[in-house]
């Protein structure tokens, strides 16, 4: 079965949105996970709570908050527009932001677990060999937490591909701009005679999700082999 | 010259240690578990900060609470070989060895990969991962890795403690080669007398967080008054033994040790039980002909490995009976018997001399 141009468009858009969302939130996710795992500071629980909030809030609420903050009239949105000419509302970049926020807790949790499971004494050993802290992080900590980073990235990517509520609330359902695969599927179900199209998208979604899982499993296995020798 | 003066307290434990030592060869930090040896080397490495004190290596001040100096570990140029090796699991042996090289000033580089690999016998394993190495190989790589950072001094915190006896012997050979060929001063932490006796030129004895004695190895080790302080019998050997059987009629227990059977006063242990027996050097005598009609039950055939330096009237003679046994005999006897390395001898151990308190059950030992 050949894909129709509309399907290709939805798939490519979904991959682009999820890809950018994960790419941009990854450094921040590592930083926040590191902060939560390694430091005890006043407000630790508050930061932890804020990070996890999107996990328990209805996505529609997240989308609405984003609309209020980042919409063209919103305080942050207006500032971004004035200073950088960046518009997030009703653009695919906005869809990426919505996905990133919703998937962020999953990413942070997985990375934090791997940081907490890491043998800190290896970092100490690296410092006695003359390595400054930044180099220790890049050459020892980061490779050792790579399996957790990978898991977090895949989880977040999958969550982004499935993102619906926050996206439709924040950036609406604009063909070619914000109509990702789940939104396209939803749209099909809302029009008469759209069930065939919806069915095809469902199959595509399952194939993509499954491929991502298999790829991550293979990667994780390769990483573990590297670590264990 | 290494000058250390460090005071700190952590809960029940208080460290108040000061010594200075020439940095030629090996300085042994010797003492029972909990004496503060590791805390002290951690302070030298910069991993633990003393509340007050001063630590200097030659004219380089590493720590001085009065002057507000506290170099970070990566600035101290002090190599550290940990008890557990701590190799980087994601790097090959070569990657581990080369890790610290880039941080060493170019003009100070004395250790090259070729030289270190050759010295420690690592050539064949350069491409392997730490996960595939045996315990002894791992410690050799850890030694090489610390040296490749071109340190001014090397700290070793019980680097042999996690190894079994044959591997211990192998790694200690390599440490000896490092000592003799690299010219890097070594601080060697240990609670094993034989290791200290073999490696160290200077011994610092620690007990309860304080320095109980410090000085040239021969002088310090000969001070038998330090035994209770160090919690260890200073001169002697440790044999790995297995309970073989009991001789009920005479109240004896037969222990299988390397080189034969050791009869000791009866022990309340099951046959098959493993333990270590410490045989004090002064309880071992030597004979060059097979002794007959002697009251001594334990006679082992062996060969002289090494004759220690003379201390007063006595010398310590190391004899290989399958394991190392040390005999403390008079220098006069040594000369009369013409003892020399390689000479076949019989080592006699009086059964009653083996003090039940010197038997350490392997499971309970912290080695």
CATH number of the domain where residue A218 is located: 1.10.3720.10
Torsions phi, psi of B103, nearest 5?
Answer: -90, -10
The 10s digit of each residue's pLDDT in B333-347 is: 888 888 889 899 999
CATH number, domain of B193, equals: 3.40.50.300
Q: What Rg value do the Cα atoms of chain B yield, rounded?
A: 22
Q: How many residues are listed for chain A in this entry?
A: 229
Q: What is the pLDDT of residue B141?
A: 94
Q: Which of B230, B248, B275 is the last residue of a domain?
A: B230
Q: Are B133 and B275 in a shared domain?
A: no
Alpha helices by DSSP H, listed for chain B, are: 37-45, 93-98, 113-120, 135-148, 165-182, 193-199, 217-222, 227-230, 331-336
A127–B72 CB contact, under 8 Å: yes
pLDDT band at residue A223 using 50, 70 and 90 as cut-offs: confident
* Structural domain of B146: 2-230
Q: Does residue B121 fall inside a structural domain?
A: yes
CB B287 within 8 A of CB B293: no
- pLDDT confidence of B226, banded at 50, 70, 90? low
State the Cα angle at A126 between A109 and B165, rounded to 5°.
105
pLDDT in tens, A111-144: 999 999 999 999 999 999 999 999 999 999 999 9
State the residue for tokens 């050097």.
Answer: B281
Separation CA A98–CA A24 (nearest Å): 12
Nearest residue of chain A to residue B84 (CA atoms): A121
Q: Is a pLDDT exceeding 50 seen at residue B366?
A: no
Domain count, chain A: 1
Say yes or no: B217 and B197 in one domain.
yes
Q: Are residues B270 and B310 in the same domain?
A: yes
* pLDDT reported for residue B98: 94
Q: Does B301 touch chain A (CB under 8 A)?
A: no
Kindly state whether residues B261 and B194 are assigned to the same domain. Answer: no
The pLDDT score that the predictor gives to residue A144 is: 92
Tell me the Cα Rg of chain A.
20
The whole-number pLDDT of residue B362 equals 43
Q: Is B217 in the same domain as B250?
A: no
Least confident residue range of A98-102, B17-21, B74-78, B170-174: B170-174
Residues B77 and B144 in one domain: yes
More confident residue, A91 or B179: A91
- Retrieve residue B160's tokens: 């042999």
Short-list B273, B282, B231, CA closest to B255: B273
Q: Return residues 83-122 of B near A (CB < 8 Å).
A: 84, 86, 88-90, 99-100, 103-104
Nearest to B327 by CA among B67, A117, B337: B337
Whether residue B69 is found in the same domain as residue B12: yes
Residue B366 lies in a domain: no
Are the Cβ atoms of B149 and A229 closer than 8 angstroms?
no
Residue A175 · residue A193 · CB < 8 Å: no
**Alpha carbon distances (Å) from B213 to A16, B82, B203:** 70, 25, 8
How long a stretch of residues is chain B?
367
pLDDT in tens, B46-81: 999 999 999 999 899 999 999 999 999 999 999 999
Angle between the N-to-C axes of helices A195-228 and A146-161, in degrees from 0 to 180, rounded to the nearest 10 = 180
Q: Which residues of A touch B126 (CB under 8 A)?
A: none
**Mind listing the pLDDT tens digit for each residue in B172-217?**
888 888 888 888 899 999 887 767 767 888 889 888 889 988 888 7
Question: Sheet of B260-265: strands edge to edge?
Answer: B260-265, B252-257, B236-247, B274-280, B359-361
Residue B345's closest CA among B362, B327, B359?
B327
Distance CA A28, CA A108 (A): 9
Looking at the structure, do residues B215 and B297 belong to the same domain, yes or no? no
Question: What domain count does chain B have?
Answer: 2
Interchain proximity A128–B45, CB inside 8 Å: yes
Q: How close is the nearest chain A Cα to the Cα of B347, in Å?
A: 44
Query: CA B52: distance to chain centroid?
Result: 29
Does residue B320 fall inside a structural domain?
yes
Look at residue B233 in the predicted model and tell me its pLDDT: 44
Residues B135 and B159 in one domain: yes
Query: Is B270 in the same domain as B192?
Result: no
Mean pLDDT of B126-145: 92
Q: Which of A119, A129, A228 sits opposite B99 (nearest CB)?
A: A129
DSSP state of B46: T
How many angstroms separate the CA atoms of B222 and B281, rounded? 12
CA nearest to B244, candidates B236, B252, B235, B253: B253
Residue B271 near chain A (CB below 8 Å): no
**Any idea which of A18-32, A45-59, B172-186 has the lowest mean pLDDT?**
B172-186
The reply to whether residue A129 touches residue B100, judged by beta carbons under 8 angstroms, is: yes
- Report residue B57 as tokens: 């290596």
Q: Cβ contact (<8 Å) for A131 and B131?
A: no
For the cut 80, the answer to whether the pLDDT of residue A4 exceeds it is: yes
Distance CA A168, CA A98 (A): 9
Look at the alpha carbons of A203, A205, A208, A214 in this order and tell me if their dihedral is positive or negative.
Answer: negative
**Contact predicate A165/A62, CB 8 Å:** yes
Pairing between β-strand B298-307 and β-strand B260-265 as defined by DSSP bridges? unpaired
pLDDT score of B181: 83
Residue B44 lies in a domain: yes
Please, what is the average pLDDT of chain A?
A: 91
The SS3 call for residue B160 is coil
Per residue in B275-310, pLDDT (tens digit) is 667 677 888 889 988 888 888 888 999 999 888 777
Closest CA to A100 of A171, A178, A193, A24: A24
Quote the minimal CA–CA distance from A159 to chain B in Å: 30
d(CA B280, CA A30): 58
Place of tokens 């009237």: B313
- The pLDDT confidence band at residue B25, using thresholds 50, 70 and 90, is confident
Same domain flag for B54 and B184 = yes
List the single range of A32-41, A158-167, B88-97, B98-107 with lowest mean pLDDT. B98-107
Q: Which residues contact B340 (CB under 8 A, 6 or more apart)?
A: B304, B307
Interface size A-B, in CB pairs within 8 Å, comes to 70
Statement to judge: residues B173 and B96 lie in one domain: yes
Of B230, B256, B277, the position where a domain reaches its end is B230
Domain boundaries, position A70: 5-228
| pLDDT classification of A224: cutoffs 50, 70, 90 | confident
Q: Which of B175, B210, B230 is the last residue of a domain?
A: B230
Confidence of residue B323 (pLDDT cuts 50, 70, 90): confident
Alpha helices in A71-138 (DSSP H): 75-84, 92-116, 120-128, 133-136
């Amino acid at each position: 079965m050949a894909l129709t141009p509309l399907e290709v468009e939805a798939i490519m858009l979904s991959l682009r949105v999820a890809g950018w969302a994960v790419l941009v939130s990854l450094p921040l996710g590592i930083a926040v996970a590191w902060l939560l795992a390694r430091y005890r500071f006043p407000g630790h629980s508050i930061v932890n709570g804020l990070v996890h909030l999107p996990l328990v809030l209805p996505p529609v609420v997240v989308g609405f908050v984003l609309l209020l903050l980042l919409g063209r009239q919103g305080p942050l949105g207006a500032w971004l527009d004035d200073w950088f000419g960046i518009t997030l509302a009703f653009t695919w970049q906005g869809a990426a932001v919505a996905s990133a926020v919703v998937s962020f807790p999953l990413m942070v949790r997985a990375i934090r677990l791997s940081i907490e499971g890491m043998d800190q004494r290896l970092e100490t050993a690296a410092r006695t060999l003359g390595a400054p802290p930044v180099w220790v992080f890049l050459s020892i900590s980061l490779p050792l937490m790579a399996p957790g980073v990978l898991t977090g990235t895949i989880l977040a990517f999958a969550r982004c591909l499935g993102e619906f509520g926050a996206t439709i609330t924040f950036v609406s359902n604009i063909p070619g701009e914000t109509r990702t695969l789940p939104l396209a599927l939803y749209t099909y179900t809302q029009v008469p005679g759209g069930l065939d199209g919806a069915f095809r998208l469902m199959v595509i979604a399952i194939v993509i999700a499954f491929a991502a899982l298999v790829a991550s499993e293979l990667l994780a296995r390769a990483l573990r082999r590297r670590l264990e020798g | 010259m290494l000058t250390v003066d460090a005071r700190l307290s952590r809960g029940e434990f208080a460290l108040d240690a000061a010594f200075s030592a020439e940095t030629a060869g090996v300085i042994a930090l010797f003492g029972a578990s909990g004496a503060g040896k590791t805390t002290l080397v951690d302070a030298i490495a910069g991993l633990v900060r003393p509340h007050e004190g001063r630590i200097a290596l030659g004219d380089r001040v590493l720590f001085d609470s009065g002057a507000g100096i506290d170099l970070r570990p990566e600035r101290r140029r002090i190599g550290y070989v940990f008890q557990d090796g701590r190799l980087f699991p994601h790097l090959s042996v070569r990657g581990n060895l080369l890790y610290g090289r880039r941080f060493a000033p170019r003009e100070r580089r004395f250790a090259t990969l070729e030289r270190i690999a050759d010295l420690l016998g690592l050539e064949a394993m350069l491409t392997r991962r730490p996960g595939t190495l045996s315990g002894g190989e791992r410690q050799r790589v850890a030694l090489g890795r610390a040296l490749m950072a071109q340190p001014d001094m090397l700290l070793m915190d019980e680097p042999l403690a996690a190894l079994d006896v044959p591997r211990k012997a192998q790694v200690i050979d390599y440490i000896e080669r490092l000592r003799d060929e690299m010219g890097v001063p070594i601080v060697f932490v240990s609670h094993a007398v034989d290791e200290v006796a073999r490696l160290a030129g200077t011994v610092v004895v620690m007990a309860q967080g304080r320095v109980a004695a410090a000085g040239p190895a021969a002088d310090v080790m000969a001070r038998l008054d330090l035994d209770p302080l160090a919690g260890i019998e200073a001169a002697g050997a440790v044999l790995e033994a297995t309970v073989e059987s009991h001789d009920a009629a005479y109240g004896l227990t037969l222990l299988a040790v390397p080189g034969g059977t050791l009869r000791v006063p009866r022990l309340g242990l099951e046959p098959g039980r493993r333990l270590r027996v410490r045989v004090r050097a002064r309880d071992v005598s030597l004979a060059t002909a097979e002794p007959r009609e002697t009251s001594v039950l334990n006679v082992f055939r062996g060969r002289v490995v090494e004759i220690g330096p003379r201390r007063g009237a006595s010398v310590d003679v190391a004899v290989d009976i399958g394991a190392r046994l040390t005999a403390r005999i008079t220098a006069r006897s040594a000369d009369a018997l013409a003892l020399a390395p390689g000479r076949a001898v019989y080592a006699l151990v009086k059964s009653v001399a083996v003090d039940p308190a010197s038997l350490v059950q392997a499971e309970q030992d912290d080695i």
